[in-house]
Structure 1
Amino acid sequence: MATSIVPRVPQKVGVVGYGRLGQSLVSRLLAQGSELGLELVFVWNRDPGRMAGSVPPALQLQDLTALEDRHPDLVVEVAHPNIIHESGAQILRHANLLVGSPSALADQTTEQQLMEASNCWGHTVFVARGALWGTEDIRRLDLAGGLQSLRVTMATHPDGFRLEGSLAAAHISGPRTVLYEGPVRGLCPLAPRNSNTMAAAALAAPSLGFDRVVGVLVADLSLRDMHVVDVELKGPPGPTGHSFAVHTHRENPAQPGAVTGSATVTAFWLSLLGCCQLPSKPGIHLC
């Protein structure tokens, strides 16, 4: 028999961002929140016009700096890494934070600011695992000292990319083009909305981190309605000289041109419910 995930205490939730993922979360919170012990107390979007007609006016927050007036227990960011850069530490002064753009943590200054705010105010930085399959297995292997290398490849149609900096002018030279291959820290600022799975992997494997987890971004003209994520990891050589190795291949259906795949929307909702069950404590924790 199926069981519902119910928070231990009622939680007041604010949502920052009203794109496809934000719209899905808001819809579920309005429809199911009361039975799950969750109350939606505000929705903020950089363009407030997008909320017109779908978010009740009383829930529309016009100024993000005024979120404390809504007394949230949890603020969910599903907007853009810039929100975490600019407002993450301030949000932690008033509530726990669920980060939907973990690529923001590739910036060491931002990560340090979040840790300092978390420790100062006793609130938690939760990070949604999103499209990363096997997060707990990666984390446990890393903790046990059994992880030597980790490589995450994300492939989709070029219409699904939102690229910046030098990658914005990248030339697609054939049916399958590798746009970037290297440390995840270097990819995140160039593809902030397409590197979140790699960023989650870097956080799951702190012994490697953003500098030693390898991210690969691939433009594939055949993947018009799908995101494909391959995770490859190896441990150190054993007594026989062979290494423990795992390779997962994840195909996630997606609307043409969409940044977020269909299964990722469901995974994020489960992350939201999961972090509401956990105690508030300082630090950065995958959820």
Structure 2
Amino acid sequence: MADKGPWRVGVVGYGRLGQSLVSRLLAQGPELGLELVFVWNRDPGRMAGSVPPSLQLQKLAALGERQPDLVVEVAHPKIIHESGAQILRHANLLSLRVTMATHPDGFRLEGPLAAAQSTGPRTVLYEGPVRGLCPFAPRNSNTMAAAALAAPSLGFDGVTGVLVADLSLTDMHVVDVELSGHPGPRGRSFAVHTHRENPAEPGAVTGSATVTAFWRSLLVCCQLPSRPGIHLC
């Protein structure tokens, strides 16, 4: 941690992930050199009784008054679209999400994808550039978006996203990442395939391991050299 004192952390969003992060920051933050300085939620009433009134930020535009070093966004993606630039004027921004292939009840789809229907045990709802998927699956395409940001030579148009509704995945989210290079002189190419299974409650958007992953990412981000920008941890 930095020598200047505790890292001042703000949390934007108070759903399941936000509640978990706030709880850990309050309980473990001081011993780890972290100080929770504000919590903001679109519905302030959701914080009543669990977030101390002094930490409740009523207007996101006033976050600069709390002088945060790090802001963790665990709200709807449109919050970053609307306020991301403003947040970055005052603090580092940790913007991480996880997307899963899962049972249809675990999706929160918008636009034309909201009307997509499963046609069998396993249905591909979307396959194409990540850029075309993110606006309609903002809660289920974040792993794909992170991959697009991490591979600037491909970006949102070059990375292919596939969203699958699988009726057998009633208690888990599954992510498969396949990476392949250009074929060599003998026609073979370098390839990497990772497969991840994250236990989840039926119909849940957030997997069980995701809560811990967010907490660990927050700790890693606070150990990075202080600089503006979006950190992928």
TM tier relative to shorter chain: over 0.9
- Contact in 2 for aligned 1:159/1:256 (Cα 8 Å): yes
* 1:1-287 matched pairs, under 5 angstroms: 7-9=1-3, 10-100=6-96, 130=98, 154-287=100-233
> Scaled by the length of structure 2, what TM-score is found?
0.95
- TM-superposed CA distance for 1:280, in Å, is 2.4
Per-residue Cα deviation, 1:130-181 (whole angstroms, up to 9, x for no partner) = 57xxxxxxxxxxxxxxxxxxxxxx4101111110000011111111111000
> Does the residue aligned with 2:204 lie in a helix, a strand or coil?
coil
- Contact in 1 for aligned 2:94/2:230 (Cα 8 Å): no
- Contact in 1 for aligned 2:124/2:164 (Cα 8 Å): yes
| Matched-pair identity in % | 85
5+ residue gaps, structure 2, are none
- Contact in 1 for aligned 2:92/2:228 (Cα 8 Å): no
5+ residue gaps, structure 1, are 1-6, 102-129, 132-153
Partner Cα separation in structure 1 for residue 189 and residue 55 of structure 2: 53
- Contact in 2 for aligned 1:188/1:195 (Cα 8 Å): yes
- TM-superposed CA distance for 1:234, in Å, is 0.4
Partner Cα separation in structure 1 for residue 185 and residue 119 of structure 2: 44
> Does the residue aligned with 2:78 lie in a helix, a strand or coil?
helix
Per-residue Cα deviation, 1:172-216 (whole angstroms, up to 9, x for no partner) = 111111100000000000100100010011111111111010000
Per-residue Cα deviation, 1:34-88 (whole angstroms, up to 9, x for no partner) = 0000000110000111111111111111111111111111111000111100001
What amino acid does structure 1 have at the position aligned with 2:194?
T
What amino acid does structure 2 have at the position aligned with 1:254?
A
Partner Cα separation in structure 2 for residue 219 and residue 237 of structure 1: 32
What amino acid does structure 2 have at the position aligned with 1:277?
Q
Partner Cα separation in structure 1 for residue 193 and residue 87 of structure 2: 37
What amino acid does structure 1 have at the position aligned with 2:59?
D
Partner Cα separation in structure 2 for residue 55 and residue 37 of structure 1: 20
> Does the residue aligned with 2:181 lie in a helix, a strand or coil?
strand
Partner Cα separation in structure 2 for residue 191 and residue 34 of structure 1: 36
- TM-superposed CA distance for 1:282, in Å, is 4.3
Partner Cα separation in structure 2 for residue 96 and residue 79 of structure 1: 16
- Contact in 2 for aligned 1:76/1:99 (Cα 8 Å): yes
> Does the residue aligned with 1:66 lie in a helix, a strand or coil?
helix
- Contact in 2 for aligned 1:17/1:44 (Cα 8 Å): yes
Partner Cα separation in structure 1 for residue 134 and residue 39 of structure 2: 26
The number of residue pairs the alignment matches comes to: 231
Partner Cα separation in structure 1 for residue 60 and residue 8 of structure 2: 16
> Scaled by the length of structure 1, what TM-score is found?
0.78
- TM-superposed CA distance for 1:251, in Å, is 0.5
What amino acid does structure 2 have at the position aligned with 1:23?
Q
What amino acid does structure 2 have at the position aligned with 1:253?
P
> Does the residue aligned with 2:84 lie in a helix, a strand or coil?
helix
- Contact in 1 for aligned 2:25/2:34 (Cα 8 Å): yes
Structure 1 runs of 4+ aligned residues shifted over 4 Å read none
Match in the other structure for 1:150:
none
Partner Cα separation in structure 1 for residue 229 and residue 122 of structure 2: 39
What amino acid does structure 2 have at the position aligned with 1:72?
P
> Does the residue aligned with 1:179 lie in a helix, a strand or coil?
strand
